[in-house]
Amino acid sequence: MIQPELYDVVELLIDLPKVGLKSGQLGTILEKHNEKTYEVEFANVEGETLEFLALTSEQFIVVWKSGTSQSVPVTERILAMMEILPEDKQGQVLDFTRSLYRVSA
């Protein structure tokens, strides 16, 4: 897992319909509550705050590291997501990946 840090940009992995956020939306970590819970701000394109939520590290992945000012490579993002999935879902991802390999070979 990519260790989340203050000011990292994260991608939401789940829909949060009660607050109008969808999987894939980007937010910024603004506070760390403990090893698994972070305060994340979601904003619109004008920079206005849409939501400010406490999320667990299983609800998002880090996509940009503030410490290095670089995007997290796609391979690392996929690995971070895989670590969160249950074993049966990991198997489905593996089967899907195999199918992509066969198509591209």
Q: What pLDDT, on a 0 to 100 scale, did the predictor assign at position 105?
A: 54
* pLDDT attached to residue 2: 85
CATH class assigned to 9-104: mainly beta
- What's the confidence (pLDDT) of residue 18? 95
CB 53 within 8 A of CB 19: yes
32/35 Cα distance (integer angstroms): 8
Q: What gap in Å lies between CA 88 and CA 52, rounded to an integer? A: 33
- Are the beta carbons of 2 and 62 closer than 8 angstroms? yes
pLDDT tens for 4-34 read 999 999 999 999 999 999 999 999 999 999 9
Pairing of strands 49-56, 9-12: unpaired
Q: What are the phi and psi torsion angles at 14 (to 5°)?
A: -130, 160
**Domains of the chain, residue spans:** 9-104
Distance of CA 87 to the CA centre of its chain: 19
pTM assigned to the model: 0.87
Q: Which residue in this structure is represented by tokens 């949060």?
A: 16
Residue pLDDT, tens place only, 37-84: 999 999 998 999 999 999 999 999 999 999 999 999 999 999 999 998
Q: What local confidence, expressed as pLDDT, does residue 101 receive?
A: 83
